[in-house]
Structure 1
Amino acid sequence: MLKGTLMELHDFLSPALKCKNTTMRAAITVHKRVVITLWKLAMPDSYQSVGNQFGVGKSTVGAAVIQVTNMIEELLLSRVVTLGNVQVIVDGFAAMGFPNCGGAIDGTHIPILAPEHQGSQYINRKGYFSMMLQALVDHKGCFTNINVGWPRKVHHARIFRSSGLFEKLQQGTFFPDQKITVGDVEMAIVILGDPAYPLMPWLRKPYTGSLDSRQELFNYRLSKCRMVVGCAFGRLKALWRSLLTRIDLSKTNIPIVITACFMLHNICESNGETFMVGWEVEANCLAADYVQPDTRVVSRVQDGVVRIGAALKTSFMTGQATV
């Protein structure tokens, strides 16, 4: 994080984080608490190691992380994780090959220590404890909607159906009412998911099983656009590597810290921060200890939804869709 971005974050949080000196000791400055938090989130270091780095106790590091991430979530969430200019997003995905698309959605696992009395709910099929999160990204890989805090045993489709995002998409209030005609079918703005998500009028997912040439082309276009969400998760974890090791916080505080990492990712992306390829390579080495479990396929299809997919397949083959 560049100094300018750090100071912008510090200045915004400072009024809410200021502490008064006491007769026993001087309060740790806001700047130091912010830097301690960023270091702890960015490095797979223990609280003791971070404390040694900054000359404070590990309990002070823990308190700083909770204080700062709480304020980041409270003050910045609605500002930073937001949809932005929908037309720019739609144009961005159209340039990648999929028309009238407003985002790509996926989930990922964050390794955690076993929660007390609820460990069985959080152990995944790869044998480690994890918390599920789900996110929607735009064409540039910025997060426009996040849903954090689910046990691993909850399926992607259930997380999605229980989210505020699903409700807004179902009601048609998340995106503007902007339709295009594909063949003889009207299609509203859609999001793109993997086979674990339910097929909806506003959610497209790849075909599975034995595919014909039209289905293969459809899957290629969809997969090309969906790569943006996988890349976004990769960059997120490469920058905030605490997400690659078992987060040792309470079940209540883990979602707050994870959410803060998403917001810091968006801040860095929007400020044009440099991202080194080597960071992702190093992060992949850490991630090897906690391999992402496969998702299960959802096969239920709503009436009428198939026609949209059929129209898209034909338009891709004939070259009538936006490229």
Structure 2
Amino acid sequence: MPSSKNETPTWDFENRASEMADSDQGRVRKARTPSPAAYHGGETAAEDGGGQRRRLWVKERSKGWWKYHNSDECPDDEFRKAFRMSKATFNMICDELDSVVMKKNTTLRMAIPVRQRVAVCIYRLATGDPLRTVSALFGLGISTCHKLVLEVCAAIRTVLMPKYLQWPDQERLAEIKTAFGSISGIPDINGSIYTTHISIIAPKTNQEAYYNRKHTERNQKPSYSTTVQGLVDPRGVFMDICIGYPGSMSDEQILDKSALSQRSKLGMLEKTWVVGNSGYPLKDWMLVPYTHQNLTWSQHTFNQKVNEVQKIGKDAFMRLKGRWGCLQKRIEVKLQELPMVLGACCVLHNICEMNNEEMDEDLRFDLYDDEMELGLESGRGISVNALQDRDRIAYNLLHCNHGNK
């Protein structure tokens, strides 16, 4: 993806001086030495240059919220509200990431446990809460929480993505075609595609590429975005994603640069259909609705069936953004780190879908303004075969109750 340095928020670090209450004057003043009430000390095993032992002062933080949610006392419903998944699914993720995420204790401090590391990341992605809030809930420093989010997202990409977000094998592909056929009556559909936009902080360079005109018009202020293209199966599970192209690009432009388009050039999409909305072009391997006026009955029937399949892709992105609240607002991550974070959200989405994780109705998120300019059926690059195949499918849907060519 394009790489550029973008403006990032200034994270608050721990103050070296603590604030103490002055009981005599009734005011708060800065202390040159840490207050025993605010800090606890622990000796290090090392000695300074003078041969004297150093004393390490560590700010004491409340971990009550996390201790409760990490205990058997916390009901599963309450845990799910915070982390968007059941304890069982969370435990499974921790087990699979354990060897990669685990850190060793040092002479200076105890390592943060794996479960807490993973929880910090998932909570931040799920709620989109400010790092200051995450820091207070988990009893960790703000900068530590930011680092943990990136480390766990990287681990998810390395360990979980190859297992939970993958192109289907022939056996699975046959199941997918059968399921989509039952839904639409159109044979050989292997996926529903959709592209969404994620708001970002304006990059310092190449701003025009990330400028999102539609979001700017809606928000009445300059808006910038990056994109996520996803192909899903009948369950709404991602099988292929393309992340990070600038928000000024159309769905068609992103598709042309994606790995999915490369698969088609390698012949991996022969005798299959990808179904998309009118923002995508009609291709030998992609079906899109008719967009001209005065549709025939067969064309109208075709559009209805295609929309049923396309809705599966859009609904998957609605659940993706609904579960992971960080995607609903301007995401405060460096541009070069975005693919890792967004990819982790897609993997976690798949894990939740595969484990039938319930999603509260109040988390429902409506997508808007994600469709870019409508594709032009008469545009260059549309083959005569693609037009004829679509017409045959449309005719058969109306007259033969199936879409066989």
Normalised by the length of structure 2, the TM-score is: 0.72
Choose which of 201, 217, 224 in structure 2 pairs with 1:113: 201
Choose which of 230, 233, 239 in structure 1 pairs with 2:314: 230
Does 2:176 match 1:89? yes
Assess if the C-alpha contact under 8 Å between 1:101 and 1:190 holds in 2.
yes
In the other structure, the counterpart of 2:228 is 133
1:87-107 deviations in Å (ceiling 9; x for gaps): 111111111112211111110
| SS of residue in 1 equivalent to 2:384 | coil
In the other structure, the counterpart of 2:290 is 207
Choose which of 192, 195, 198 in structure 1 pairs with 2:278: 195
Q: In the aligned structure 1, how far is the partner of 2:141 from the partner of 2:203? A: 25
Q: In the aligned structure 2, how far is the partner of 1:117 from the partner of 1:162? A: 22
Choose which of 260, 264, 286 in structure 2 pairs with 1:169: 264
Assess if the C-alpha contact under 8 Å between 2:251 and 2:371 holds in 1.
no
Q: How does 1:1-323 map to 2 (within 5 A)?
A: 1-84=85-168, 85-97=172-184, 98-125=186-213, 126-127=215-216, 128-174=223-269, 188-210=271-293, 211-280=295-364, 283-284=365-366, 291-299=368-376, 300=379, 301-321=382-402
1:196-226 deviations in Å (ceiling 9; x for gaps): 2121111010001211211111101100111
| SS of residue in 1 equivalent to 2:230 | strand
Higher relative contact order (CA 8 A, sep 6+): 1
> Once the 2 structures are TM-superposed, how far is the Cα of residue 34 of structure 1 from its aligned partner?
0.1
- Count of residues in correspondence between the two structures: 304
Assess if the C-alpha contact under 8 Å between 1:95 and 1:322 holds in 2.
no
Flag as ranges the 4+ runs of structure 1 deviating above 4 A.
none
Can you give the 5+ residue segments of structure 2 that lack an aligned partner in the other structure? Answer: 1-84, 217-222
1:160-184 deviations in Å (ceiling 9; x for gaps): 111111111232225xx6xxxxxxx
> Once the 2 structures are TM-superposed, how far is the Cα of residue 44 of structure 1 from its aligned partner?
2.3
Q: In the aligned structure 2, how far is the partner of 1:293 from the partner of 1:227? A: 14
Q: Which has the larger radius of gyration?
A: 2
Aligned CA RMSD, in angstroms, stands at 1.6
Q: In the aligned structure 1, how far is the partner of 2:349 from the partner of 2:289? A: 28
Assess if the C-alpha contact under 8 Å between 1:33 and 1:68 holds in 2.
yes
| SS of residue in 1 equivalent to 2:192 | strand
Q: In the aligned structure 1, how far is the partner of 2:245 from the partner of 2:233? A: 23
Q: In the aligned structure 2, how far is the partner of 1:94 from the partner of 1:106? A: 19
Given the superposition, is the C-alpha separation of residues 235 and 293 from structure 1 closer, same or farther in structure 2, using an over 3 Å criterion?
closer
> Once the 2 structures are TM-superposed, how far is the Cα of residue 240 of structure 1 from its aligned partner?
0.7
| SS of residue in 1 equivalent to 2:174 | helix
Q: In the aligned structure 1, how far is the partner of 2:280 from the partner of 2:369? A: 17
1:261 counterpart letter in structure 2: C
